[in-house]
Amino acid sequence: MVARRREGGHSSYRPLRNMQASKKEQRGVIRFLAAEGVGGREMYRRMKAVYGEYRMSRSTVVEWRKRFLEGRELLEDDARPGQANRVITPEMIAEVHDLVLNNRRVTVDEIHRLLCISVGTTHTIMHQHLKFRKICAQWVPHQLIAEQRNNRVALSLSHLQRYHEEEYGFLSHIVTGDETWCHHFEPKSKRQSKEWKHATSPPPKKLKAVHSSSGKVMMSFFFYHKSPLLVEFLERGTTINAQRYQATLQNLKRAIKSKRPGMLSNGIIFMHDNARPHTANAAAVSVGNAGTSTVQSRPFTV
């Protein structure tokens, strides 16, 4: 592999600039030359002449010469601390898969420490082999039973049919609203609620956490397709009942007259959920007196 020529009775090496040798091959040369008693400077000069720009650095040549003189035989690198020299096997993939199924919020760092594999190997298994990706859980107010889900589908189809028949006239006349508790606490961030999932599996969901020890206030909020109509906060220690909701509807009627004159005369389609205060006789009378019609809403939604 080395081109040798004689100039004036002396031998010289012609550099092979395109010779790309592996580190293991060059270390073998260093071990051979060290056994012949070649010094570090001369050893580097010869390797520079042969391997050109692909040679090892001077300090690397000297270091490996020292190791071989001290009795080292192996040409491979030493294993780095904490590094697991393991290849990806079906058994390893199955172990990672079981860990994720047992805890969807397990982190890559936890997996690599539990199974003693590198972080890069863990990433490869998670994303390339198992096709996992980590996403945030979707917040839902309630877990619905099968009957409620079927009811939601039927009502949605009926609303869609009415929209096809009336188009913009249906949407522009809808007024809707609901109540919610405003809690005095910091919710978990999206990053804290992320979970692993397959590309084809449904997104995770989480229920609204109730913090009974924190302060809270109930808010009533009503709007139509263009803007809010009424935002109302209840007094501390009170909640929504039939009488209180009837008073809220009266306030909503006055707010519509003040903010959107003529809206009541054109007709309003009032949409609210099936909570008990909303379906009470007192609330139904208030809605009828306002000259509005109602459409049934899906369970646990506005």
pLDDT, one tens digit per residue, over 105-120 is: 899 999 988 998 888 8
pLDDT, one tens digit per residue, over 80-102 is: 655 445 678 999 999 999 999 99
CATH architecture type of domain 146-183+215-296 = 2-Layer Sandwich (3.30)
pLDDT, one tens digit per residue, over 176-229 is: 888 888 877 666 666 777 778 777 787 777 665 555 556 778 888 999 888 899
The DSSP 8-state label assigned to residue 52 in this structure reads G
Task: Using DSSP, state whether 242 is helix, strand or coil.
Answer: helix
Entry pTM: 0.41
Instruction: Give whichever of 33-42, 82-91, 255-264 has the largest mean pLDDT.
Output: 33-42
Kind of pairing between the strands at 205-207 and 138-140: parallel
Q: Measured between alpha carbons, how far is 297 from 278 in angstroms, rounded to an integer?
A: 11
Select the more confidently predicted residue: 144 or 40. Answer: 40
Q: What angle do CA 154, 155, 161 make, to 5 degrees?
A: 90
Give residue 288's pLDDT.
61
Region of poorest pLDDT, from 16-20, 61-65, 68-72: 16-20
Q: Measured between alpha carbons, how far is 222 from 254 in angstroms, rounded to an integer?
A: 13
Which two tokens mark 207? 């229920």
Q: Cα-atom radius of gyration of the chain, to the nearest Å?
A: 38
